[in-house]
Amino acid sequence: MRLVIIIFRQYPWRTLSMLAALLLSGIAEGIGLSAMLPLLTIALGETQGATGKQSTAAGKMIQDIFNAIGLTPTLELLLMLILTAMLLKTVLVLIANRNVGYTVAHLTTKLRQQMLRAYMLARWEFHLSQPIGKLAAAMGGETSQTAKAYATGVSIIVVIIHTVIYVVIAMMVSWKATLIALAAGLFFWYPLNRFVKKARRAGRRQVKVRKSMSSEFVNSILSIKPLKAMAREDRAEAILIGKTNKLKNALQKEIISKESLGAYQEAMKVTFMLLAIYVTIVIWGMAPTAVMILILLLGRILGKLGKIQKQYQTMSVLENSYWSMTQTLEIAQKMREPKLGDRKPELKRAIRLERVSFAYSKNNVLNDISLVFPAGEITVIVGPSGAGKTTIVDLVIGLLRPKTGEVWLDDLPLAQADLHQWRRMIGYVPQETLLLHDSIFINISLGDPNVTEREAEAALRKAGIWEFVEKRPKGMYSSVGQRGLKLSGGQRQRIAIARALVRKPKLLVLDEATTALDPVSEAAICNTLRKLRGEITMLAISHQTALLEVADRAYRIQDGSVFPAEVSSAAGLHLEKTETGTDPKLHAGPTTGEIFSNETTASRVP
């Protein structure tokens, strides 16, 4: 019941009011059941003494209630008392359930918001290490399972309260039979806990398989086009079928454990009830009315004990989702991105990397490199895949921090800058354009109410795609389809550029943004960038060389080192400076600080 206790602490007042309502509902039900004994005595014409001492105790409580209000217990009044007690119980249970419903709704929402916030605020290393489907599983299934586990735990408390009431009333009828029933219940029910443990293990297995299956499913959906294009969807299907079979096996074990528990409980309950009837009538010689009430109460007590065990079994299965989710949540919270500084960044002169080194674990990516990206210019970084180009971008954005060295924004080290403000100044265009299955306008604004149609149109014009959008049936409110597949690759990239430009960024980053495009589309994107020169600082990375046609400045990254690269702009071809003169080739060795641009003189990295 740790989960229930944890949640109770989060919602103390709701919990106390719920428990109070449940306790009062149990007392109301107890009064109604107590009134049945004198009711049956009157209805069957039995004398008070015929019921024995125990029935007198139960009847005396009802007699005292009537005496307190100056009435004599008659058949009609007893029926009204029972009806009133049952109605009062119903109202109190509804009040308790309302509080439970409130808590469950708030708990589910709070857990999802905590998970979402922790995920969004986590360091980039956390995102690199987590399967994409893990968050989906936590946000969807695991939070719902947690809410169900809590509701089940509350149900256990309800049953416990009612069981205590039944035990008290049964003790007033026959304390010996009640104690024997309790002892028998504990004796017979305890060995059945092995089915609870089996169900818990099956539930733990289900959580593990569901998370794995969710990740595989998301990966398959994201890769569905190449899979179908190569007729390899059967391989993804086979993997997912294997996961579903594992989930089926775990679910079968859970169901078998639950059904086995229920079957054994029912057999034990029937056996004990038959023995109780024989003992109370034949051996103890109790009156029929007392036996009827006692058997009713003992049946309910044993039924409630069995229900507690079955609900505990259910909760032990469901709560595995909570522990799995909190484990992911704790990892994300521990890896929260630290606040660097509080100084407002600017970009008036240049972004600089000074003697920066970086490594993923023990894999060195950048070794003591120095770079400069002048404001208002187009800087291109080229190099083979895996050379560290994206790592440089991540360092500039602040997603990663250098192991040694520093990134500078003009004269401000990034470690002292307000990282959130800096990122608000950045427009980012990735290689894989992620468009929402929505309108062009929503993909530009991302739902920001502050973005107007005029601003979206201006961004689309700058991105060179307004003429295409204008001709669409619904203009910028036309749908782009799932992941933008109604558009060509170049059109998707231009919309991504418009999305990056709509907030008027100071820095535009293109991370392999033209790699997957055909030469015509790539040339069109390059022409768009050329028109933006001087208006915005641009940093583009690619493992191809086409972007060098529009670059003001270029570097080549290879083997963790930086080399100057030739650039060719509208102003004409400018070859890099080498020891032998002006050969139109890439420099063969690492730079010693000189960088080359479309200026006639070389400048030096600060």
Q: Are 326 and 360 found together in one domain?
A: no
Q: Quote the pLDDT of residue 58.
A: 55
Q: How confident is the model at residue 227 (pLDDT cuts 50, 70, 90)?
A: low
The Cα–Cα gap between 44 and 324 comes to 59
Q: Are 89 and 156 found together in one domain?
A: yes
Residue 581 has pLDDT above 60, yes or no: no
The Cα–Cα gap between 514 and 195 comes to 59
Q: How confident is the model at residue 15 (pLDDT cuts 50, 70, 90)?
A: confident
User: End of a domain among 306, 334, 362?
Assistant: 334
User: Three-state DSSP class for 363?
Assistant: strand
Q: How confident is the model at residue 517 (pLDDT cuts 50, 70, 90)?
A: low
Q: How confident is the model at residue 43 (pLDDT cuts 50, 70, 90)?
A: low
Beta-carbon count within 10 A of 325 CB: 25
Q: Which domain holds residue 415?
A: 350-425+505-604
Q: Are 240 and 387 found together in one domain?
A: no
Q: Are 212 and 356 found together in one domain?
A: no
Asked if residue 463 belongs to a domain, the reply is no
Q: Quote the pLDDT of residue 350.
A: 92
User: End of a domain among 305, 334, 363?
Assistant: 334
- Most distant CA atoms of the chain, gap in Å: 125
Q: Are 7 and 83 found together in one domain?
A: yes
Nearest by Cα to 403 from 333, 355, 445, 335: 355
Per the model's pLDDT, the better-predicted residue between 190 and 58 turns out to be 190
For residues 99-127, average pLDDT? 82
pTM above the 0.85 mark? no
Contact call for residues 444 and 498 (beta carbons, < 8 A)? yes
The Cα–Cα gap between 381 and 83 comes to 83
* pLDDT, tens only, 346-366: 889 999 999 999 988 778 889
Residue 386 has pLDDT above 70, yes or no: yes
Q: Quote the pLDDT of residue 353.
A: 92
Q: How confident is the model at residue 50 (pLDDT cuts 50, 70, 90)?
A: very low
Mean pLDDT of the chain: 76
CATH of the domain at 179: 1.20.1560.10
Residue 391 has pLDDT above 80, yes or no: yes
Percent of the chain with pLDDT over 70: 81
CATH of the domain at 548: 3.40.50.300
Contact call for residues 170 and 127 (beta carbons, < 8 A)? no
Query: Which of 106-110, 155-159, 210-214, 367-371 shows the lowest mean pLDDT across its residues?
Result: 210-214
Q: Are 254 and 375 found together in one domain?
A: no
Q: Quote the pLDDT of residue 602.
A: 32
The Cα–Cα gap between 11 and 86 comes to 29
